[in-house]
Chains A and B, each alone.
Chain A
Amino acid sequence: MTPSPHLWLIPLLPLAGAAINGLFGKRFSRQTVSAVALGFCGAAFVMALWIAAQFHSSLPLLENLAPWIRAGDFQVDFAFYLDQLSLVMLLVVTGVGFLIHIYSVGYMWEEGGFYRFFAYLNLFMFFMLTLVLASNYLLMFIGWEGVGLASYLLIGFWFTKDSAASAGKKAFIVNRIGDFGFLIALFLMIKHFGSLNFVQVFRIVSGMPAEVAGTGLLTAIGLLLMVGAAGKSAQLPLYVWLPDAMEGPTPVSALIHAATMVTAGVYMVARSHVVFDRAPQALMVVAIVGTLTALFAATIGVCQTDIKKVLAYSTISQLGYMFMACGVAAYSAGIFHLMTHAFFKGLLFLAAGSVIHAVGGEQDMRRMGGLRHHIPWTFWTMTAATFAIAGFPPFAGFFSKDAILWRAYASPYGSWVYWLIGVFTAFLTSFYMFRLWFLTFFGEYRGAAGASHSDGHIQVVSSSRAEAPAPHIHESPKIMLVPLVILAVLSFCGGWVGSERFDKFLSPALHAGVTADSPEEAAAATPATEPKEQGGSETVLTGVSVLAAVSGLFLAWLLYYRRPQLPQEIAHALGGFYEAVVNKYYVDEIYAAVFVKPLIDGSTRVLWQGIDRDVIDATLDNSAEGAREMSDAVRHMQSGNLRSYAAWIAAGAAVVIAYMIWMGTR
C-alpha cells in the first residue's frame, strides 16, 4: 500500500484544539483562542483534502491502531475505515465545519465564554470525525454519543438562560431514547454475528441464506438501528428536540443541527445498507418514516414565525427526504442530498445568524422586513441558499432533491405515493422558504414600530437577547461574510456533480459489501441499481418538481409580498386546523401529557414519596430513632455515682459466678 494516510490524525487534531482551548483558553486572548481553534480544525480539513487527493484510488483503507476490547472471540479495535462513503462525510464535516468555525469567530466575538465555545466546537469535530471514520459499530457509537454530548453542551451554551438549559436537556434525553435502540441493535449483532466490525458484520449478513435472513433478525436489527437514527436525525416521533435546540448559538445550529450531526443517522443507515437491503420491511419503515417526517415538518414550518425555527423544521423535513431516499435503497441519493443540504442549510443558518446579528438579536420574522438594502451580502447569499433548498435548477438542491424524488418513484422499493408526498413537500418547502425570504428581506422594516403586521394570536417566540428599540441595522463583518460567500458558491454549483456520477463514485462503498462473498446470491439480494425503465418519464417528473418549486415561490410572493393581508384571512378561514399547525400539532403537549407527566408523577409519588421517602429513608430514620431511644433508656446506668458502678460490677460478677456454679453442678 502507498504511504500510510494517518487517518487517526484527523479526529485527533480537533481534540488537541479542544484540549488546549478547554484547559488553558481562559488565559488566552480571543485572538489566540480563535487561532488555536481554526488552526486545528483547518489542519483536519487540509488533511482530509490531502487524503482525498492522495488515496481516492486506493479505497477502502483500513487503519488498525490498537486493540480495545478482547473477550474470547469477540474483539473490537481502535480502527479507522475510509471508503467513498466516509470520504464524502469526511470532506463535508471538515469543510463545512471549518467554514462555520471561521464564521463563529465573528459571530461570537462579543459573547462571554469565547474559549469555552471553541473548545466545545472542536470537541464536537473530534467526535463527529470519530463517528464518520470508525471501522466498527462500537467506535461509531462512541462518536455518536460524543456528538450528543457536544450538542448538549452547545445548545445549553447560554446556560444561565433557563430555556437554553432545558433545551439542552431535552435534546440529550430524547437522543437517549434513540441511542437505546441503537445499543440494542449492537447487542443483537454481538449475540448473533459475534462482531461489530463493519466488514465482518456485512460479510456475515450478506452470506446469510435467504430463509435465515427473512426470519426477522435482520428486520429487528434494521428497525432498532432506525430508532437510533430517528433519535439522532430528528425523525418522527423523536424530532421534538431539534426545534428547541435552536436555543443554542446560531453557528451551532448551522454546524450541529443542520449540516453535520443530525445527518449522522442518514450516514449510519447508508453505512448499514447491507443489513437494510436484506430486511425489506425495515427498509419500508425507513421510507415511510422519512416521507411522513418530510411532510409533517414542512407543514409546521409553514406557520413558524421565528426565523431559526422555520429553518429547524426545514432541516427535519430535509432529513426526512434523506431517509426517504435511504428507504427506497437509493443511498447515494440520500448522501448526495446530505452533502448539498450541508451546504445550503449551513448557509441558511449562517445567513439567518447574520440577519439576527444585523437587527440586534431579533429572531421574529414579523419584526424584520426590507432588509435587502441594508445587508446585501447576506441577502444575496441567503437567496442562493433559498433557491437551492427550494429546488430551482441549476442550484445544488435541485439535483439532489430531483434524484431522491426520481428514485422514490422508480426504485424497486419505491412507490408513486412517496413521490407524490415528496413533491407536495417540495412545494411546501419552496413556499415556507420564500415566505421567510419575503418576510425578512422585502417589504417595510417592521422592527421599530413593533409587530404591525402580526399574524394575530401567534405567540412571540423569541427576542431573548436584546430589547433594543430601534437597532442600527448593519452588515456583518468580513469574517462572517467570507464563509457565507463560499457556501453560497457551493450551494449554487455543489450539485453539478450530478447524481449519476455521485452514485458511481459511491457505488464501491454502497454495493461492495453485498458482492463480497457470493456474487450470484448477492445479485439476488441487491436491489437492481438501475431504476425501472420508464422512458422519458424522468423528465416529466423533474418538470413537475420544478413546477412545485415555482408555484411555492409564486404563492409566497402572492401572500407575503403582493397582498400581505391575505395570510391572516386564510388563517381565519382555516380556523382550528391553522391553530393546530401553529401550535406544532400539539406534539410537545401530547408528549408532555403522555410521557413526561406520568413519568414525573410516577417519580414523585411512587419513587420519591413512596419508595425513597417511605421505605429507604424510613428504614434509616426508624433504626436510628430506635438506637437513640434504647441508648436513652440505658444511659441511666451511667449515673456518675461511684457506688452504683461498683454495684453493677458486683452484680455482674455475681451473675458470672452463679452461672459457673450452675454449669459445674449440672
Chain B
Amino acid sequence: MVPLSYYLVLSGILFACGVTGFLIKRNIITIFMSIELMLNGVNLSFVAFAAQWHALSGQVFVFFVMVVAAAESAVGLAIIIAVYRTRETLNVDRVNLLKL
C-alpha cells in the first residue's frame, strides 16, 4: 500500500507545475493546459483522501470537477478561437486591452 503522503506530494508537484506553467508561458493553449494540470493535481489529492478514509464523496467530487473542467475547456477553447480570429495571435501579453 502506497502511503498517502506520496500521493499528496505528487499532487503538490502537479499543482506547482501547473502554476509555474501558467505564470511563465505566453501561449494561451499552454496556459490552458496548465490550468488542467492544476485541476488534476487537486483531483489526485481528492481521490487519495477518498481512498484513505474510504469515503465516497471525494470520488464523486472528482467527477464534478471533471465535468466542470470539460465545460470550461469547451468555453475556453471557443474564446481562444475567437481571440485568434480577431487578433491573429495567441500571445497573452498582446491581449491586454482590458486595462486602464
Q: B33: CB under 8 A from chain A? A: no
Q: Which of A635, A638, A643 contacts B92 (CB 8 A)?
A: A643
Write out, one digit per residue, whether chain A residues 236-262 have a CB within 8 A of any chain B CB (1) or not (0).
Answer: 000000000000000000000000000
Q: A650: CB under 8 A from chain B? A: yes
Q: A540: CB under 8 A from chain B? A: no
Contacts of B24 in A (CB 8 A): 643
Contacts of A642 in B (CB 8 A): 31, 92-93, 95-96
Q: B98: CB under 8 A from chain A? A: yes
Contacts of A643 in B (CB 8 A): 22-24, 26, 31, 92-93
Query: Which B residue's beta carbon lies closest to that of A654?
Result: B19
Q: B100: CB under 8 A from chain A? A: yes
Q: A639: CB under 8 A from chain B? A: yes
CA distance A635 to B99 in the complex (A): 9
How many whole Å from B92's CB to the nearest CB in chain A? 4
How many whole Å from B62's CB to the nearest CB in chain A? 21
CA distance A640 to B24 in the complex (A): 16
How many whole Å from B97's CB to the nearest CB in chain A? 7
Contacts of A635 in B (CB 8 A): 100
* Interface pair A646/B22, CB less than 8 Å apart: yes
* Interface pair A646/B23, CB less than 8 Å apart: yes
Q: How many residues of A contact B (CB 8 A)?
A: 10
CA distance A642 to B99 in the complex (A): 10
A641-658 residues at the B interface, CB under 8 angstroms? 641-643, 646-647, 650
Contacts of A639 in B (CB 8 A): 96, 99
CA distance A643 to B24 in the complex (A): 8
Contacts of B31 in A (CB 8 A): 642-643
Total A-B contacts with CB atoms under 8 angstroms apart: 32
Query: Which A residue's beta carbon lies closest to that of B22?
Result: A646
Known: A643-B23, A650-B23. A638 touches B93 (CB 8 A): no
CA distance A447 to B31 in the complex (A): 100
B83-100 residues at the A interface, CB under 8 angstroms? 92-93, 95-100
CA distance A626 to B92 in the complex (A): 34
* Interface pair A638/B100, CB less than 8 Å apart: yes
Query: Which A residue's beta carbon lies closest to that of B34?
Result: A646
Write out, one digit per residue, whether chain B residues 64-95 have a CB within 8 A of any chain A CB (1) or not (0).
Answer: 00000000000000000000000000001101
Contacts of A650 in B (CB 8 A): 19, 22-23
Could you pull out 26 A-B pairs where Cβ atoms are within 8 angstroms? A635-B100, A638-B99, A638-B100, A639-B96, A640-B96, A640-B99, A640-B100, A641-B92, A641-B93, A641-B96, A642-B31, A642-B93, A642-B95, A642-B96, A643-B23, A643-B24, A643-B26, A643-B31, A643-B92, A643-B93, A646-B22, A646-B23, A647-B23, A650-B19, A650-B22, A650-B23
Residue positions of A touching B, CB distance < 8 A: 635, 638-643, 646-647, 650
Closest 4 CB pairs of A and B: A640-B99, A640-B96, A642-B92, A640-B98
